[in-house]
Structure 1
Amino acid sequence: MKRPVFIISGVVIILILIAIWVYMLFFGSPKNADDTFADLNLGDTTDTSYIENTDTTDGEAVVDLSSPDRLRQLTTKPVIGFNEFVKDASSTPAILYVEAGTGHVFSIDLETGEESRLSGTTIPSSQEAEITPNGKYIMYRSGEGSGRTYLVGTISSTTNELSTSDLDESIISFSATNDNHFLYAVKTQNSTIGKSYNPEDKTSKTLFTLPFRDATIDWGSTASDSHFAYPKTTSKLESFLFKIDSTKISRLPIDGYGMSASGNNDLVIYSKQDNGEYKTFFYNISEDLVTKHVLTTIPEKCAFSTNNSELVICAQSTINNNLNIPDSWYSGETYFADSIWQTTLAGSATMLINTESESGRELDIVDIDLGVDDKNIYFLNKNDKTLWLYERVQSLSNPS
């Protein structure tokens, strides 16, 4: 090929390429951003501090309340906090609960079984929550170890958002009260300080100071009620129990290896290792009298009646003579298939339900809570943190 022809051909090809480039630049832009940028598979990198309420279950029945079954699983989601809520005397009770991990708040109507989401605000890595009885305030713990944070959220009556305020303290324990406040404990260098928090005006005040740091606290129903505190439970160390009133802190004649306890203003139920066996006892505060409980159970599986101070609801299954109880249960090495019992200081014990026979599942019951008039018995299954309801025909003060 002659050189002039070769040069002309090359120039023509270059001009064609330039024309194509100009066309693509000005007339060939993609119709959306997804055509422009490669999918780098980075996952969702948006801010998740708020999630729009797109839950398709809102307003739908998620619990069959028409069945004759009195034991019902209320959630398939893991739950970190719940409370029965009754707006007024003419209102149908609802159960409010907080979903683990997200901190989203849901309500289940206990007449229709319909579920609705009250808050879609995400509290990342939510691990624990307490809801006030008026259904308005929630205290959260999120994160683990040194990354733990605590905050109080206010549920809006008009939007799906949760307004929050941080509590910048080294909190180790907290609880909601019957008068819609929160009680919490703060660990210091040499002590544990108990405080109350008013979510209305966001103020706190000191209630008591304990002379040790790693305290487990069994909170009363209000700041003025009796509270009970003891060092962290382990079967390897001997522990002791303090009773905390509004005016003083007194040590009770209760101690032992693996000791844990729960109480009210009149009575304490506690368990401990005793001569190679794990045993449960009642302590009558006013009479300074200890009696052996008819059942053997872990006090964290019990709740006191609000109508009768000497009546206790406990979850219980056979506990073998294991020197590692309750440590092995705390760690998850040991688990139980519980029945629910009604027990009294007088020594009676009535089985209300064998949950394994009724549900076909092994329910390791924790966080028992009694509804209005003690009629509904709520609890979590420790194995998967699902929320359950046992509905009584009558309140606890009457025969079941």
Structure 2
Amino acid sequence: MKKLLFILIILILTGLGAWFWVTGNNIPIVETVLNNLPFGSEENIQPTTDDQQPFGTDSQTQNEESGIQVSAAGKFIQISNAPVAGFVILKTVRYVDRATGHIYDFNFTTKEKIKITNQTLPKIYEARFKPDGNTVLFRYLKNDSDSVENLSLVLTPPKATSTSLFTITSTFLRGYTGPIVINSPFTNWAFSEGSKTVVYTKPQSDAPGYAYFTTANGGLSKILGPLNGLVVNVNSVGNRILYSYMEDGKTKLFAKNFTGGKVVKILPATLADKCAWSTKDAGSVMCAVPKDGIGMDEPENWYRGNTYFSDRIWLYDTDTEVAELIAESMNLDIYQPKLSPSEDYLVFIDRNDLSLWALKLE
């Protein structure tokens, strides 16, 4: 009996010692990984246990006046905790509140947000700004029906300094309103923005997809396909394209330079829609890559909101074929990423709750 008691005491002391050793050597998450990986490497970088910390813990502070949440390292900023319908990056971030249709400006420097319109237009499910931010297209369901209403708003800045509210001129868009971009009996198209318009068939993992440049007469010039689950992302100049597709149950990611025709495979792979091209460095593209990979029935399940990812942010140089891990994303599912004009911020929507975020890069 004494021998058994002695063994139990030894086991307990050993367990306590191991526990103190592990907790005493807990390594905090690192925002930037200094080592670069060449394209084609299958190396899997495992996150530390600290990357699960949500906002509301000691790792973040909150601006009491603006309600803006900032991580302790100052890297991730939650611009809006309410769902947004769309945004554009100017000197500020201009975005639309999904529930009310109100438009706000967020200042990167002061972390303040200002309401610039006060006209309530509820349940805006999509908002698309022109690059100058002074015109926005609202899309919403009319009277809770299945009928989609398109409303164009022109924003005029206030002349008086006593108010921050812009003057709004609104126009309902119905039927033909401008030049024909594409003339096709097939209606299930998606678009990639840039100086050259690229259209592609809406992606489905088990169906071949195609991508085309549009021509001046409304025709199509094929550039990619057939590739299952094809998603494309063209740069602003229109001379480089990032594309992802599904092959043998795995997502593949490639970049093509139309000048010279060079094609490079990119690893780790992600959906092309989760990337933003640099305008300062023509060959660079910043992407959100799911930590646990991408399943077989993608990207359609992700677009439908049936699956969600937790991402890391990578910077790919498609000229030197080098990949650099920039940051962990604290379980954010990054959607519609855009780089600020000076490329010191990456702004995006979290698909989990449609909140708006920014990642400070410099």
Q: Does 1:71 align with 2:41?
A: no
Q: Does 1:164 align with 2:133?
A: no
Could you say which residue in structure 2 is the equivalent of 1:149?
149
Report the count of equivalent residues: 287
Does the residue aligned with 1:322 lie in a helix, a strand or coil? coil
How far is 1:84 from its partner? 2.0
Cα distance in structure 2, aligned partners of 1:387 and 1:289: 35
Name the aligned partner's letter for residue 112 of structure 1.
Answer: T
Could you say which residue in structure 2 is the equivalent of 1:99?
97
Q: Tell me which of 357, 372, 378 is aligned to 2:341.
A: 372
Cα distance in structure 1, aligned partners of 2:178 and 2:123: 25
Q: Tell me which of 308, 331, 337 is aligned to 2:281.
A: 308
Q: Deviations over 1:173-220 (max 9, x none)?
A: xxxxxxxxxxxxx8xxxxxxxxxxxxxxxx732344345211111121
Change (3 A) 1:162 1:73: same
Cα distance in structure 1, aligned partners of 2:292 and 2:212: 26
Does the residue aligned with 1:204 lie in a helix, a strand or coil? coil
Cα distance in structure 1, aligned partners of 2:260 and 2:132: 36
Q: Deviations over 1:285-321 (max 9, x none)?
A: 2233432112210111011111122111100024546
- Superposed CA RMSD in Å reads 2.4
User: Given that residues 303 and 312 in structure 1 are in contact (C-alpha distance below 8 angstroms), is that contact kept between their aligned partners in structure 2?
Assistant: yes
User: Given that residues 121 and 161 in structure 1 are in contact (C-alpha distance below 8 angstroms), is that contact kept between their aligned partners in structure 2?
Assistant: no
How far is 1:126 from its partner? 0.6
For the pair shown, the structure with the greater C-alpha radius of gyration is 1
Could you say which residue in structure 1 is the equivalent of 2:241?
268
Unaligned runs of 5+ in 1: 1-58, 87-93, 170-185, 187-202, 357-361, 394-400
Cα distance in structure 1, aligned partners of 2:230 and 2:292: 15
User: Given that residues 226 and 245 in structure 1 are in contact (C-alpha distance below 8 angstroms), is that contact kept between their aligned partners in structure 2?
Assistant: no
How far is 1:60 from its partner? 4.0
Does the residue aligned with 2:154 lie in a helix, a strand or coil? strand
User: Given that residues 85 and 95 in structure 1 are in contact (C-alpha distance below 8 angstroms), is that contact kept between their aligned partners in structure 2?
Assistant: yes
Could you say which residue in structure 2 is the equivalent of 1:61?
66
TM-score (structure 2 length as normaliser)? 0.73
Change (3 A) 1:60 1:131: farther
User: Given that residues 344 and 360 in structure 2 are in contact (C-alpha distance below 8 angstroms), is that contact kept between their aligned partners in structure 1?
Assistant: yes
Change (3 A) 1:320 1:156: closer
Q: Does 1:81 align with 2:81?
A: no
Could you say which residue in structure 2 is the equivalent of 1:137?
135
User: How does 1:224-373 map onto structure 2 within 5 Å?
Assistant: 225-246=195-216, 249-264=220-235, 265-318=238-291, 320=293, 322-346=295-319, 347-356=321-330, 362-373=331-342
The range that moved more, 271-280 or 346-355, is 271-280
Cα distance in structure 1, aligned partners of 2:302 and 2:181: 32
Does the residue aligned with 1:283 lie in a helix, a strand or coil? strand
Q: Does 1:386 align with 2:355?
A: yes
TM-score (structure 1 length as normaliser)? 0.66
Name the aligned partner's letter for residue 214 of structure 2.
Answer: I
Does the residue aligned with 2:179 lie in a helix, a strand or coil? strand
Name the aligned partner's letter for residue 87 of structure 2.
Answer: F
How far is 1:99 from its partner? 0.3
Name the aligned partner's letter for residue 331 of structure 1.
Answer: R
Q: Tell me which of 114, 132, 156 is aligned to 1:116.
A: 114
How far is 1:152 from its partner? 0.9
Unaligned runs of 5+ in 2: 1-63, 159-164
Cα distance in structure 1, aligned partners of 2:345 and 2:279: 12
Could you say which residue in structure 1 is the equivalent of 2:47?
none
How far is 1:229 from its partner? 1.2
Q: Deviations over 1:220-262 (max 9, x none)?
A: 1xxxx22211112111211111123557631114321111111
Change (3 A) 1:112 1:291: closer
Could you say which residue in structure 2 is the equivalent of 1:18?
none
Could you say which residue in structure 1 is the equivalent of 2:23?
none
User: Given that residues 378 and 389 in structure 1 are in contact (C-alpha distance below 8 angstroms), is that contact kept between their aligned partners in structure 2?
Assistant: yes
Cα distance in structure 1, aligned partners of 2:151 and 2:207: 33
Name the aligned partner's letter for residue 277 of structure 2.
Answer: F
Cα distance in structure 1, aligned partners of 2:261 and 2:111: 46
User: Given that residues 297 and 319 in structure 1 are in contact (C-alpha distance below 8 angstroms), is that contact kept between their aligned partners in structure 2?
Assistant: no
Change (3 A) 1:114 1:216: same
Cα distance in structure 1, aligned partners of 2:202 and 2:152: 26
Cα distance in structure 2, aligned partners of 1:107 and 1:343: 30
Name the aligned partner's letter for residue 123 of structure 2.
Answer: S
User: How does 1:133-212 map onto structure 2 within 5 Å?
Assistant: 133-143=131-141, 146-158=146-158, 159=165, 162-169=168-175, 204-210=178-184, 212=186
